[in-house]
Amino acid sequence: PAVAPPAAPQPPPQTQPTRAQTPREFRYLVRMDTTEPIAYDPTDVEAKWQRTWAERGSNQVNIEQAERPFYALMMFPYPSAEGLHVGNLFAFTGSDISARFHRQAGYNVFQPLGYDAFGIHSENYALKIGAHPMELTPKNVANFQRQLERSGLMVDWRHKVDTSQPDYYRWTQWVFLQMYKQGLAYKKAAAVNWCPSCKTVLANEQVQAGACERCGSTVEQRFLEQWFFRTSEYAERLLRNLDWLDWSEVTRSAQRNWIGRSEGAEISFVVEQHDAEVRVFTTRPDTICGATYLVLAPEHPLVDLVTTSDRIDAVRAYQERTKRQDLVSRKTVLEKTGEFTGAFATNPASGARVPIWIADYVLMDYGTGAIMAVPGHDERDFEFAQTLAGAFESACGMTQAQVIVRVVASGEEDASTPLDAAFAGSGADARLVNSGAFDGLSVAEGKAAITASLEAKERAKAVVNYRLHDWCVSRQRYWGPPIPIVYCDSCGTVPVPEEQLPVVLPFIADFKPDDSGVSPLARHAEWFNVDCPACGKPARRETDVSDTFLDSAWYFLRYPSATRDNVPFDLDITARWLPVNSYIGGNEHAVLHLLYSRFVTMALKDGGHLDFEEPFTRFRAHGLIIRDGAKMSKSKGNVINPDEYVVEWGADSFRTYLMFLGPYQEGGDFRSQGISGVRRFLDRLWGSVRDARRDGDPDPDVMRKLHQVIRKVGEDIPALAYNTAIAAMMEYMNVLRRSERTAHVAEVEPLVQLVAPFAPHLAEECWATLGYAKSVFDSGWPVWDAALAEESTIEIAVQVNGKTRGRVFVPADAIQDDVLAAALGEPTIAKFVTGEPKRVIFVKGRLLNVIA
């Protein structure tokens, strides 16, 4: 599948900006006392331009007819009660700069924003303060809206979405129904992660080291009827497409890890005295002759069948013990436990008699729920064998077998036995032994040969497994979109007809979750009692709501069509704008939101609703902002409130500083002091624009620097190298200031255009001051002129024997002999050259290296 990367923005033909005919209307913002520094008042300037943009509809794009559409997406925030976090602003500003740049470069840029307002966050907070989420959320949204509008983002607010509003979640429910229709949504009783504090089921992705990622409570295992999406069916596609997606490597690798593809084999071991076989999954079929026992997951269905009568009590007790065990101990306790079933099976390769155990280090939900244990070559099996050595001796007298040896440097085998650790090597230094006909093979050869040999006997087949599980989308909570399903005694499970959507979330005062395992909605008969859409008889609504991540898994499809109320997304509009050209966001969503969004897009494509399967052609993960070397947290008291800084320094300075403090994709350290340097730069910019002369000619030396900086900024912004773009502009400002004469208009005008994506309000103010009526964002992107940027005299570094000894200034087109002559003419360089140079290396425009 070839999707062309987004074309590098080509500046449109430069049009001559028209001078304003009207007199300047803005207030003079500088205190005219000459002893005062040049400084502008961002409070007035920013308010003025935000008003002007709103009045002019400057941020609006023609959705139906845009000729050069560019969809710039940023991750929408969850509207917390605390308000906008500096991390939000860092993310948004970086996206906004890219969007504004593309606009100046001639694209019709659509940059929407909205609110991920449903979810446990909001609900838990409402519970905590004794409020109702349906009342609290709009307040939080309003507060966010106020803060966002002050930060100067070029957002087309006509396309705002709010996932908690019926006109949005109506279509979230529609997405659910498409999944259901396509057989991708199903219900099953499953062991699920249950958070006893949040009183809800969590997706695997929301469990961190056995604890709830939201509240930190120990997660328990429960068996509940749940709705799932078949994400695992898409595992291979989700993995494969990562190869060609233009995404940050960190994000791709996180997804690869999460999908967790493993190639191996399923191998059957026949159980003695039963007409049954244990199927195991292994990635190391080459070690099969070292498989000295089998282990089933405690809940494996074969356990009841094979367990011998003398072992039945112990096995049952073990099953009970592990069933009740919560996931924390399952995931973190390293001590291996297990129980012998009394049964034996036959190793299909070696013919050896192997005992069958159960142990909770084998997971029922991966592979076949059973393994062949190779203590000689697997650390976990080794540990199990060590821990239970006594039991082994008495139960079945098993031994460890060595079937892979390390080949030491001399080519000899390192046959140290007995093993004191598992040797898990599989590279060039490993070779098969004690494996009959397969001795001497490498691991890779052994895998292939043994699998083929067992396949011939119908005892094995090559398989691929994924760690990716199906997505559990049910939540036994209140603050989410009700799942649009009705249960009818006659008709069974009935999807709500699309024309009856939305299934509106009712306002209920009592929305607190309880321990019952059912949603609070299940306590409201007046809501869940409904007539069956199919037969009209009394029926019952599904009372679970769906996972918040379903809301955000398709919101990018909604934005362009957000003004349409009859379809989730308009086909023409979608064809024009999607897939998203540029998505910028935090990598904390690498495996949750971004994977689900890809899955939903693929599923909708398969359902015939879309004609592309990857939603985000280009994704860039931004870094994290820390404060004075430490992560920001309430307990440390080092959380930044953007409002304070915006009031003190202005949104433009704050934005620009956030972009300047480090490489955007790596994040950086926020130091309160640092912002002053950026503000100084903007003040100076304002000063030179205000005082710019129109008489005389621009200085050619300054113009040369100007064209160099135009080039630099134009290259840096698409690469998200915002910090160096700003540095280059500062450098140019220093050139201007050190120039003998007051800056000429021609020397500052393009700089205003360059700075506009970073400091949009000030740029507009400057642009108006320069006499333009139209917005600077419709003025184009300055064109870099190679001829004007070229230096006539250049500096060449001179090395002698690879050591830098000085520099010479020569004409730009100087050839090697000229440079060499110039270099040898410098006594400080010549003194290191004794006799005739043996060799001379010349890199044009850069360096001369004389080997003496």
Read off φ and ψ for residue 336, nearest 5 degrees: -85, 135
Q: Which is nearer to RNA, 643 or 648 (CB)?
A: 648
Rounded distance between C-alpha atoms, residue 403 and residue 430, angstroms: 10
- When binding is defined by CB under 7 A, the residue of 738, 786, 834, 836 that contacts RNA is 738
Amino acid code (one letter) for 311:
R
Rounded distance between C-alpha atoms, residue 437 and residue 453, angstroms: 11
Read off φ and ψ for residue 760, nearest 5 degrees: -65, -35
Q: Which of residues 600-629 bind RNA (CB under 7 A)?
A: 629
With vertex at residue 465, the alpha carbon angle to CA 463 and CA 466, rounded to the nearest 5 degrees, is 160
- When binding is defined by CB under 7 A, the residue of 218, 723, 739, 769 that contacts RNA is 723
- When binding is defined by CB under 7 A, the residue of 524, 680, 739, 785 that contacts RNA is 680
Who's near 579: CB < 8 A, 6+ residues apart?
3, 71, 612, 614, 615, 616, 617
Question: Could you tell me the smallest distance in angstroms from the CB atom of residue 476 to RNA?
Answer: 22
Question: Could you tell me the smallest distance in angstroms from the CB atom of residue 477 to RNA?
Answer: 21
Q: Is 801 in the site for RNA (CB under 7 A)?
A: yes
> What b-and-e string marks burial along 386-405, b requiring 16 or more CB atoms within 10 Å of the CB?
ebbeeebeebbebebbbbbb
- When binding is defined by CB under 7 A, the residue of 250, 448, 647, 789 that contacts RNA is 250
Q: Is 426 in the site for RNA (CB under 7 A)?
A: no
Read off φ and ψ for residue 765, nearest 5 degrees: -60, -45
Q: Is 737 in the site for RNA (CB under 7 A)?
A: yes
Block residue for tokens 């900024």: 713
Question: Could you tell me the smallest distance in angstroms from the CB atom of residue 306 to RNA?
Answer: 17
Q: Is 802 in the site for RNA (CB under 7 A)?
A: yes
Contact stretch for RNA (CB under 7 A) within 172-180, 282-290, 344-352, 519-527: 282-290
Q: Which of residues 15-44 bind RNA (CB under 7 A)?
A: 35, 37, 39
Amino acid code (one letter) for 451:
T
Read off φ and ψ for residue 412, nearest 5 degrees: -80, 160
Largest CA distance in the chain: 106
Of 744, 768, 754, 756, residue with least CA distance to 691: 744
Edge-to-edge order in the sheet of strand 404-407: 413-414, 404-407, 430-432
Question: Could you tell me the smallest distance in angstroms from the CB atom of residue 680 to RNA?
Answer: 5
Q: Which of residues 77-116 bind RNA (CB under 7 A)?
A: none
Q: Is 188 in the site for RNA (CB under 7 A)?
A: no
Contact stretch for RNA (CB under 7 A) within 80-88, 114-122, 586-594, 747-755: 586-594
Question: Could you tell me the smallest distance in angstroms from the CB atom of residue 282 to RNA?
Answer: 4
Rounded distance between C-alpha atoms, residue 355 and residue 343, angstroms: 6
Question: Could you tell me the smallest distance in angstroms from the CB atom of residue 333 to RNA?
Answer: 5
Rounded distance between C-alpha atoms, residue 505 and residue 79, angstroms: 19
Question: Could you tell me the smallest distance in angstroms from the CB atom of residue 702 to RNA?
Answer: 15
Q: Is 638 in the site for RNA (CB under 7 A)?
A: no
Q: Is 816 in the site for RNA (CB under 7 A)?
A: no
Question: Could you tell me the smallest distance in angstroms from the CB atom of residue 539 to RNA?
Answer: 38
Read off φ and ψ for residue 851, nearest 5 degrees: -95, 110
# residues near RNA by CB under 7 A:
93
Contact stretch for RNA (CB under 7 A) within 142-150, 201-209, 568-576, 775-783: 201-209
Amino acid code (one letter) for 789:
A
> What b-and-e string marks burial along 193-203, b requiring 16 or more CB atoms within 10 Å of the CB?
bbbeebbbbbb
Chain mean position to CA 677: 32
Length of the chain, in residues = 852
Q: Which of residues 336-365 bind RNA (CB under 7 A)?
A: 336, 360-363
Q: Is 593 in the site for RNA (CB under 7 A)?
A: no
Q: Is 297 in the site for RNA (CB under 7 A)?
A: yes
Amino acid code (one letter) for 599:
F
- When binding is defined by CB under 7 A, the residue of 461, 631, 693, 774 that contacts RNA is 631
Q: Which is nearer to RNA, 363 or 494 (CB)?
A: 363
Question: Could you tell me the smallest distance in angstroms from the CB atom of residue 314 to RNA?
Answer: 18
Ramachandran quadrant class, 330 (left: phi over 0; alpha: psi -120 to 50; beta: rest) = alpha
430 forms beta bridges with: 406
Per-residue binding string, RNA, 760-799, x by CB under 7 A, is: -----------------------------------x-x-x
Q: Which of residues 821-840 bind RNA (CB under 7 A)?
A: 828, 831, 839
Question: Could you tell me the smallest distance in angstroms from the CB atom of residue 474 to RNA?
Answer: 20
Q: Which is nearer to RNA, 59 or 226 (CB)?
A: 226
Cβ-based neighbour number of residue 470 at 10 Å:
21
Q: Which of residues 360-419 bind RNA (CB under 7 A)?
A: 360-363, 366-371, 378, 380, 383
Q: Is 730 in the site for RNA (CB under 7 A)?
A: yes
Strands 370-373, 413-414: pairing kind:
unpaired
- When binding is defined by CB under 7 A, the residue of 60, 145, 147, 204 that contacts RNA is 204
Tokens of 367: 């592979």
Rounded distance between C-alpha atoms, residue 755 and residue 760, angstroms: 7
Q: Which of residues 642-671 bind RNA (CB under 7 A)?
A: 660-663, 666, 668-669, 671
C-beta separation of 381 from 374 below 8 A: yes
Helix, strand, or coil (residue 43): helix
C-beta separation of 152 from 762 below 8 A: no
Count CA within 13 A, CB hemisphere, residue 147: 25
Contact stretch for RNA (CB under 7 A) within 222-230, 575-583, 680-688, 778-786: 680-688
- List the alpha helices (DSSP H) in 388-539: 389-395, 443-456, 525-528
Q: Which is nearer to RNA, 19 or 803 (CB)?
A: 803
Q: Which is nearer to RNA, 79 or 623 (CB)?
A: 623
Q: Is 701 in the site for RNA (CB under 7 A)?
A: no
Amino acid code (one letter) for 480:
G
263 forms beta bridges with: 464
Q: Is 630 in the site for RNA (CB under 7 A)?
A: no
Q: Which of residues 464-493 bind RNA (CB under 7 A)?
A: 465, 467
- When binding is defined by CB under 7 A, the residue of 2, 334, 409, 509 that contacts RNA is 334
- When binding is defined by CB under 7 A, the residue of 166, 260, 506, 517 that contacts RNA is 260
Q: Is 813 in the site for RNA (CB under 7 A)?
A: no
Question: Could you tell me the smallest distance in angstroms from the CB atom of residue 18 to RNA?
Answer: 33
- When binding is defined by CB under 7 A, the residue of 47, 54, 142, 209 that contacts RNA is 209
Q: Is 306 in the site for RNA (CB under 7 A)?
A: no
Q: Which is nearer to RNA, 83 or 663 (CB)?
A: 663
Q: Is 165 in the site for RNA (CB under 7 A)?
A: no
